[in-house]
Amino acid sequence: MSARTTRTRLFAATTVALAALSLTACQGGTSDSGAPAPAAHSSSVDNNQPSAKGGSGEVGEDSGSGKGPESAGSTTDDQASNSGNAGGSGSGSGAGEGQSDPGVPGECSASDVSITAANAPRPINHLLLTATNTGSKTCALPPYPAARFGEAQSVPPVAESSKPQALTTLAPGESGYAGVRLSSGDGSGENGYETDSLTIPFEDGSIATVKLPSGGVYVDTALTVTYWQTSAANALEY
């Protein structure tokens, strides 16, 4: 065999070996990457498939148009409206409940009662006030008579020990009583004066004018009133 022939065969063998190595390298790279070119192309095509796009588009459109949430929101609005109506109804009911109970007597006014004043036989220097319901409905007297004698600028103190358990309530024709200590019996009172006028204001702003015994009365700093009572005896105990 000539030298030329030998070189030709070696070159051919080398070429075959290089081709084999090159093919092996290509196959190894594809296996290592795990993502051959055809597979990548297939994924891109899948992303462009109408079914996938349509599914994604439908979700996006529902979210964008708010069909699902909008229906829920509508229901919520209706519920809120109904709740508001229910609240309004409740408020109305509450307002009704807050109205005066026809079974509970209201406050007496100066136009509902007639008040008289008389000297008490005892204790001395005491006046007995009698308030009679001249109206057609039961009413409650104020806690005590805020008596103002003459030009007095202040209301006399009230004997706390005379406070009853409840307000004195008068049915038509019934009377309530209050005692008034006009002055001290031993002369210890100060700033005494005589007067022939007495007014008693009521809680609604009306004022009753009370006629005093003939000759008027004498009052000093011992002036004290009791709470309205249901009996004259109780009113004169203090």
> Looking at residue 111, what is its pLDDT?
95
Residue 223 has pLDDT above 70, yes or no: yes
Mean pLDDT along residues 202-222: 94
> Looking at residue 153, what is its pLDDT?
82
Provide the whole-model pTM: 0.57
| Per-residue pLDDT reduced to its tens digit, 121-167 | 888 899 999 999 999 999 999 999 999 999 888 889 999 999 999 99
**What values do phi and psi take at 8, rounded to 5?**
-65, -40
> Looking at residue 46, what is its pLDDT?
43
* Region of poorest pLDDT, from 27-31, 69-73, 212-216: 69-73
Q: What residues have CB less than 8 Å from 29, skipping those under 6 apart?
A: none
Q: How far is CA 80 from CA 70, 87, 89, in A?
A: 15, 10, 14
> Looking at residue 218, what is its pLDDT?
94
Residue 219 has pLDDT above 50, yes or no: yes
Query: Helices marked H in the chain — which ranges?
Result: 3-33, 37-47, 50-65, 67-98, 232-235
Mean pLDDT of all residues in the chain?
Answer: 72
Give the pLDDT band (50/70/90) at residue 208: very high
Query: If you search the block for the tokens 């000093």, which residue do you land on?
Result: 220
| Per-residue pLDDT reduced to its tens digit, 10-34 | 555 555 555 555 544 444 444 444 4
> Looking at residue 121, what is its pLDDT?
86
Mean pLDDT along residues 216-236: 95
- Judge whether 157 and 224 are in contact, CB under 8 Å: yes
